[in-house]
Amino acid sequence: MYGYGYGYNLARQSIGASEDTFHPLDLADSQLYFAKNTATPSLWNDQSPNGYDLTQATATQQPTISANSVDFDGVDDFLNRNISLFGSDTEGIIYFASYVTSGVASFLGHTSAFHISNSNFIYCDYSSDNVRLIVRKTDLSVNNVIITDDTFPTGYIYGYVKASNGSYEIFVNGSIRTFTVNSGSNDGAWYDSIQTCTKLSIGALNRQSPVYRVCSVNKSYYNNQPSLLSTSDLTKLNTFFSDPNNY
């Protein structure tokens, strides 16, 4: 599953990375990768070959860059890009790594959609100590709301949300988690049901008007072929995301 080859390895070596050291972008079908080390308040570089950089030109709406995270205040901070990220994808996996604070709806990793007439979206957040996945479908039917049955401590939290083979999967802090379907169904209809998405953002859910969220994001990664990832690939991704100092 290794896909970006010689040129990408040379680029990594030029910034001090070993050719033998695993990085998420070594995997084929990698679509985006944001990490704290390339973020500024006004620009967050997507390190994938797609270059889906997020921007914020308004100074008062820019996040703060702290030691290990990009911090959004939940009032009006966000970075975004007008893009149809999912396209015709029928599956996908988003890895997240963030810091969470008790009592605050802190976003882990967040992709949201904006469509002036349909309001289709998907996002994942951390609320009431649970991980929550919410999907708004193209047909505007009831939201799929998936909530983990267990709760998690404050501090660093990492994992993934995945839609593949007709079902959702949530992995947090080292293991696959059981969850409750709060509404909708566990149908895995994530990407192919929201193809009209036209905006990618972190820090705000963009619908007819933004809904801002507190979040402290360390890194985020998206791959649109999770069914092709081997057990070894997933183990390497899990290990990589478990360390906040891995960029």
User: What CATH code is carried by the domain that includes residue 34?
Assistant: 2.60.120.200
Number of structural domains found in the chain: 1
Specify if 226 maps to a domain. Answer: yes
Question: For the whole model, what pTM was predicted?
Answer: 0.86
Cα separation, 54 vs 164, in Å, equals 26
Residue (of 43, 42, 49, 41) closest to 24 by Cα position: 49
Using DSSP's 3-state secondary structure scheme, residue 112 falls into coil
Specify if 49 maps to a domain. Answer: yes
Q: Which residues contact 67 (CB under 8 A, 6 or more apart)?
A: none
Specify if 53 maps to a domain. Answer: yes
Query: From first to last of its 247 residues, what are the pLDDT tens digits of the chain?
Result: 555 443 344 445 444 444 569 999 999 999 999 999 999 999 999 999 999 999 999 999 999 999 999 999 889 999 988 877 776 788 889 899 988 876 555 555 444 444 344 445 566 677 777 888 887 766 656 778 889 998 887 889 899 999 888 899 999 999 999 999 998 889 887 665 565 667 788 888 776 677 788 888 999 999 999 999 999 999 999 999 999 999 9
Specify if 168 maps to a domain. Answer: yes
Residue range(s) defining the domain that contains residue 205 = 5-241
Specify if 195 maps to a domain. Answer: yes
Cα separation, 185 vs 44, in Å, equals 34
Specify if 247 maps to a domain. Answer: no
Cα separation, 168 vs 241, in Å, equals 20
Cα separation, 30 vs 46, in Å, equals 11
Specify if 61 maps to a domain. Answer: yes
Cβ 220 vs Cβ 105: under 8 Å: no
Cβ 1 vs Cβ 25: under 8 Å: no
Specify if 246 maps to a domain. Answer: no
Specify the DSSP class assigned to residue 60.
Answer: G
